[in-house]
Structures are given as C-alpha cells and as structure tokens.
Structure 1
Amino acid sequence: MKAAVFDTYVTKKDNTIMHFDIVVKEGTEFDEVQKYGQAYLALKGQEGQPLTTEECRFCHIEQATQALEVEINTRGYYIVEMEGCH
C-alpha cells in the first residue's frame, strides 16, 4: 500500500509545540486527515487546537510496511510521534 505522510506541528495549550506525522492511505481527502488529527489531539488532551493546512501539510508518499498497513486498514490512520507528544 502507498501511504501519504502529513507533517504536523500543533501549538499545545501550554504554547509548546507537538510535532507528529499523520500517515494515511494514499488518496485520503484532507478533511479525513484533519478528523484523524483531531482525534489524536483529543487523546492527548489537546482538543480544540487548530489543525489546518498551516499546521498539517502533505510531506510525501511512501510504501507502507505490513504493520503500518494493518494499522491504517484498521483505524484509517497511524500517528508517528516526533516531539512534544507526551
């Protein structure tokens, strides 16, 4: 499966930055990517923070690993936590 990676930087409620990638099936509409990002932010206690094309930008397409493909097929997306996500 080809996967689209969206590089995402969100300002948290404490004004620090969360950096994470949202990985979805190639061809997923941006409104779906936003929905997945908002669900992730809610899990991290950051619901309501902006998640527009300013914070979340398409980065590249890559071949998904088998484990990543299973996760995307199950949930629709996968989050790669980079910085400030804990």
Structure 2
Amino acid sequence: MKVAVYDTYVTRKDGGLMHFDILVPDSLRDEQAIHSFGKTYLSRKDQDGQPLTTSECRFCHIEEASEEIVQDIQQQGFSIIEMQGCN
C-alpha cells in the first residue's frame, strides 16, 4: 500500500515542540480528515486543543507502507510515526 506522509509540527501545552508524521492512504486528499486524524492523536497524548492546520501539517511525500502501518490504517484510517517531543 502506498501512503501519503504529512510532516506535522505542533507546539505542546508546555511550550515544547512535537514532530510527528501522519500517514494515510495516498488516495486521501481531504485535509480536514487528515487534520482530524492528527487531532485524534493529539488528544491521545493529552495535547487536545492545540492548533493543527495546514500551517502545522503539510504533505511531504508518498512511500510504501510497512505491514504495521497498513494494519494501523485498516483499523483506524491513519498511522502516526513519532519523531520528536511526543512522549
């Protein structure tokens, strides 16, 4: 499965920076849906209410998904790769 990768930077409630990628099927182009996935992730990290718009979340590239990412997408519609400041 090919996935679109959205490079995302969000300021944490404590002022730190979270950097993560949102991965979705490459056919999905609905930015509101992609931002919604990011907000769901932020809520899971107790960062709900933080801004997540096209300023924070931008299309980066398309790549082939690993089996783990495919499973995430099949279960919840998206996958997240945590890069920095997410824990």
Shorter-chain TM-score above 0.5: yes
Q: TM-score, normalization: structure 1? A: 0.95
1:59-70 superposed matches below 5 A: 59-70=60-71
Separation (CA, whole Å) in 2 of partners of 1:17 and 1:39: 17
**Percent of aligned pairs with the same residue?**
51
What whole-Å deviation, never above 9, does each CA across 1:24-59 have from its counterpart, x for those lacking one? 001211111111100000011110100001100000
- In the TM superposition, structure 1's runs of 4+ consecutive aligned residues that sit over 2 Å from their partners are none
| Structure 2 residues without counterparts, runs of 5 or longer | none
What is the rounded CA distance, in whole Å, between the counterparts of 2:69 and 2:56 in structure 1?
23
Matched residues in 2 for 1:30 and 1:51: separation? 11
Q: Distance in 1 between matches of 2:13 and 2:51?
A: 11
- Uncovered stretches (5+) of structure 1, i.e. residues with no partner: none
Give distance in 1, aligned partners of 2:35 and 2:63.
Answer: 20
| Amino acid paired to 1:64 | A
Specify the code of the residue in structure 1 equivalent to 2:77: G
Residue 17 of structure 2 corresponds to residue 43 of structure 1? no
Which amino acid is 1:11 matched to? Answer: T
- In structure 2, how many angstroms separate the alpha carbons of the residues matched to 1:45 and 1:72? 22
1:32 counterpart SS class = helix
Q: What is the aligned residue count?
A: 86
Give, as a single letter, the amino acid of the residue that structure 2 aligns with 1:74.
Q
